[in-house]
Amino acid sequence: MVAEAAVVLLSGGLDSTTAAAWARAEGYRLHALTIDYNQRHRIELKAAARVAVALGVERHMVLPLDLSRFGGSALTNRAIAVPKGGVGPGIPATYVPARNTVFLSLALAFAEASGARDLVIGVNAIDYSGYPDCRPEFIAAFQTLANLATKLGVEGARFRIHAPLAELSKADIVRLGVELGAPLAETWSCYDPDPVGGRPCGLCDSCRLRAAGFAEADVVDPAQQVPPLAKLGKEPA
């Protein structure tokens, strides 16, 4: 019997890579969708390509969608600074308007066109930057939408949106990635890499969360990307 396919949203980061490894462990054949949205940290596209190869993805689609034309985020408008002061309350400037809604819609179209019924996304609502489209209630609402808005859904085929990391801490995600043999060494997290050397900044929310997750899990970051921070949300000594 041929295993079912799942469409995985793959950014090349720690969370999406672990979610993809989870889907592989669940027995799905992997189809991956990476969105080139002209993000500031486009270096993650190379990471996504490496991860796709390491996980044995059958089909990896890199879809260009220039969200910098909309702007509204530090990740798509280089005139807006990436926050470096630590993870704080509120929704940060790195929030990209409706990003996961847009990305899941594209993944849904990819899935329906290719015959897949399962979508996998690595959102996390515990150790994260406060993005509203990372919450479990958003995922549940989108699954309802997927089954209302598609030909296959109307005809009775049910789409399922899997968010296996939604209620895990970043340390738990690291532990799960290690347990599943996810290629964490190939991942990229930094929002604002050095444009010359390509090194992570070590200070943006994503760098801080990654460093804190590996430290709390007592696991050495195999990518050796981010210098350890004394405390999440504070400048390194």
Q: What pLDDT is attached to residue 237?
A: 33
Nearest alpha carbon to residue 34 among 51, 53, 10:
10
Beta-bridge mates of residue 61: 33
Question: Whole-prediction pTM value?
Answer: 0.93
CA-CA distance, 134 to 131, in Å (whole number)?
6
Question: For residue range 39-59, what is the model confidence (pLDDT) as tens digits?
Answer: 999 999 999 999 999 999 999
**Mean pLDDT, the chain, whole residue set:** 92
User: What would the pLDDT profile of 155-171 be if each residue is shown by its tens digit?
Assistant: 999 999 999 999 999 99
What CATH superfamily classification does 5-217 receive? Answer: HUPs (3.40.50.620)
Structure tokens at 53: 């190869």
The confidence score (pLDDT) of residue 232 equals 46
Question: How many residues are given for the chain?
Answer: 237
Q: Tell me the DSSP string of 6-69.
A: EEEE--SSHHHHHHHHHHHHTTPEEEEEEEE---TTTHHHHHHHHHHHHTT-SEEEEEE--GGG
**Residue 77, burial from CB neighbour count under 10 angstroms (0-12, 13-18, 19+):** middle
The residues spanned by each domain of the chain are 5-217
Q: How much of the chain exceeds pLDDT 70, in percent?
A: 94
